[in-house]
Each structure stands twice: as C-alpha cells, then as structure tokens.
Amino acid sequence: MRTLVKFEYRKLWNRVSMVAVMAMCILSTFHTFIYLNMNSQWRAIDKNGEVVSGLASYRALKEASKEIQGTVDGEYLLNLKKQYEASADKQYLDEHRGYPCPYRILSGDL
C-alpha cells in the first residue's frame, strides 16, 4: 500500500506539474508587486500632509495605525476626534470631496 501511494504521489508531482506550480507562484508574485506599485492605487496622506502612493502609502498607513492603538472608550474617541479636526486629512477631504452620493444620503438631502 505504501508503494502505491508513493507511485501516485510521483504521478501527481511530475515535471509538468512542478513547472506549472512554480509559474503560478512567480506570476502571483509579479501580480502582487505590480498591483502595489501602481500610482493610481493605494493612495494615502502621510504625516506631512503629502499624498503618497504605492508602497509608500502602505508604510504611511502602517505608521499611522501605530498612533491610534489602544482601548476604545469615550475619552479615546474624543481625543481621536480632536486629532482628526486638526489633521491634514480633514483639510484635504474638505478641498477634494469624493463622490457626493454618500454625503447626500447621510445628510438626508434625498
């Protein structure tokens, strides 16, 4: 029985299947790096108020998430709101409003 499993395993992992698996790994890795490096994707605002894109935006978001770690309570939320009111994010979003539909729905203009 052990030799039967061994032979079935050899049939399953022959040279063609190994090449196919390696090609899929390489293709998925290239796809990931290309997707993360696109300038139109993954944009964020860093601490200096500049819009960054690509992997730099991922690093900026990772750095910003370290600042807001903690237990969520009333005092934490008030502090977070004060920080947001004084941040570059709010100024940027006030100047560059996105798709207006959600704002209209939330404000009851419909």
Residue 13: inside a domain? yes
106: pLDDT strictly greater than 60: no
pLDDT score at 110:
45
Residue 11: inside a domain? yes
Q: Which amino acid is present at 90?
A: K
Residue 86: inside a domain? no
Report the 3 state secondary structure along the chain: CHHHHHHHHHHHCCHHHHHHHHHHHHHHHHHHHHHHHCCCCCCEECCCCCEECCHHHHHHHHHHHHHCCCCCCHHHHHHHHHHHHCCHHHHHHHHCCCCCHHHHHHHCCC
- At 40, the pLDDT band (50, 70, 90 cuts) reads low
Average pLDDT of span 25-36: 84
Q: For residues 69 and 80, is the Cβ–Cβ distance under 8 A?
A: no
- How many domains does the structure of the chain reveal? 1
pLDDT score at 24:
96
Alpha-carbon gap, residue 87 to 83, rounded angstroms: 6
Alpha-carbon gap, residue 105 to 94, rounded angstroms: 17
pLDDT score at 28:
93
Residue 61: inside a domain? no
Residue 22: inside a domain? yes
- This prediction's pTM: 0.35
Residue 26: inside a domain? yes
**75 or 42, greater pLDDT:** 75
Residue 17: inside a domain? yes
Average pLDDT of span 92-105: 63
Residue 30: inside a domain? yes
Range(s) of the domain holding residue 23: 1-37
